[in-house]
Structure 1
């Protein structure tokens, strides 16, 4: 088999999370190998997940966009989107803070729209 990876992956056994549909749908997964460019994950129903997903490993404080490059019935290979050698994945705390800020912004905008409609 021809090896096409830019860097070898390390064998690991981490708990991960695949999210899609605007982070409204989540699936827990096991991360079997990992590098700064991609990962192999295992979970049931890999065929039902879209190609573009968000991927998290809480233990490593990693959160990033990813694309599935291959899949089987219980596993998939991910390549991380927009990964550069000097800037890898987004820290999980930043992703959570951004998501909380976006929720707060939507609530405030909704309240502002409600107040303006009353006048």
Structure 2
């Protein structure tokens, strides 16, 4: 498999929240790896999570995300902007 990431990802184990557009719904998640350009996150289920959302970190900062791949409980996201 070809590596298509712009930056290598570093292992992480950090809590975060997926915030849906409009900010009214959120999902808890864990960040498994992280780079300046994206992350791999683990959720209880990816059902109902749109392809574009905000990832809110424990420190209160947030990054807009675009889903690049997903399976039942994991997603790879690219940070936007």
TM-score by length of 2: 0.93
Segments ≥4 residues shifted beyond 4 Å: none
> How far apart, CA to CA, are the structure 1 residues paired with 2:19 and 2:67?
12
Q: Which has the higher helix share?
A: 1
The answer to whether the 8 Å contact 1:56/1:62 transfers is yes
What residue is the counterpart of 1:10 in the other structure? 10
Query: What runs of 5+ residues in structure 1 fail to find an aligned partner?
Result: 83-119
Instruction: String of CA shifts for 1:15-41, please: whole Å, max 9, x gaps.
Output: 011010311100000000001100000
Which residues of 2 match residues 1-119 of structure 1 at below 5 A?
A: 1-59=1-59, 61-82=60-81
> How far apart, CA to CA, are the structure 2 residues paired with 1:34 and 1:16?
12
TM-score by length of 1: 0.65
SS in 2 for 1:2: coil
Count the aligned residue pairs. Answer: 81
Query: What runs of 5+ residues in structure 2 fail to find an aligned partner?
Result: none
| Larger CA Rg, structure 1 vs 2 | 1
Q: Which has the higher strand share?
A: 2
